[in-house]
Amino acid sequence: MQFTKMHGTGNDFVMVDARALDADWETLARAICDRHFGVGSDGLIVALPAPEADLRMRMFNPDGSEAEMCGNGIRCLAKYAVERGIATPTDGAIAVDTLAGRLRCQVFGANGTVERVRVSMGRPRLAPDEIPVLAESSGPLLDLPVRVEGGDFRVTCVSMGNPHAVHFTDEPVGAIDLEHVGPRVEHHPAFPRRVNFEVANVLGRDRLRMRVWERGAGLTLACGTGACATAVAARLRGLVDDVVDVELPGGTVRIEWDGAGEVYLSGPAETVFEGRWLR
């Protein structure tokens, strides 16, 4: 099976053209994402045909669980599909079906090479039952208390097709022991489908710094939906304006949200290498 290793701001993926393939993707993800015995990545992304879109994306975490969406992953998929002729842009964009809905990916580049992708990520979901989070409120949840071993957090809850809990702090995000508290927040009983946990510093009206513990993946260098959720949470709290650059350990992405409509995520996508999986 041929594969391509890619990354978006350090969030890395194994990409597979599965239009003519079938496999036990959950088992394959656990094997191929392993950083010691496999290729090593934050997820397996499978490109599939779609009846009414240019293609369909399935994304599997290293633990084999399937994610509804992945912002950095869909940027990589857009580059992968366009450069290999799997999808042809119409008016500079392709449509991708995901478990979070159909998303539009604008591609930018020259001579058949995609250098940057801007994704329409859809409207954020703020009602507790849509995230989901167990809370006696109609939402938005801006200050939900979450107590775990190692820390007490006040989180803002947002779904970008997948669930996020965002904690704003004056403490440098690098000083928070995410490796310890991250899995405990992920599995907190308030989140029936687990949750992605972000910690963030506000650097200005147009800039945030963020680290993330991803549901099913653990510590990663970046998370596109997490960056979107963090920018939305900051905007809801009146901390930032409509356009925000989010600094992540693996690089910077730009988030646009006017407080009412769709969220837009822009950033690079890079090919690392290609190979063949023999197992």
Active site residues: 70, 223
Pair 30, 106: CB distance under 8 Å: no
Apex 63 CA angle, 178 and 94, nearest 5: 95
Q: Return phi, psi of residue 253, to 5°.
A: -120, 160
Rounded distance between C-alpha atoms, residue 99 and residue 97, angstroms? 7
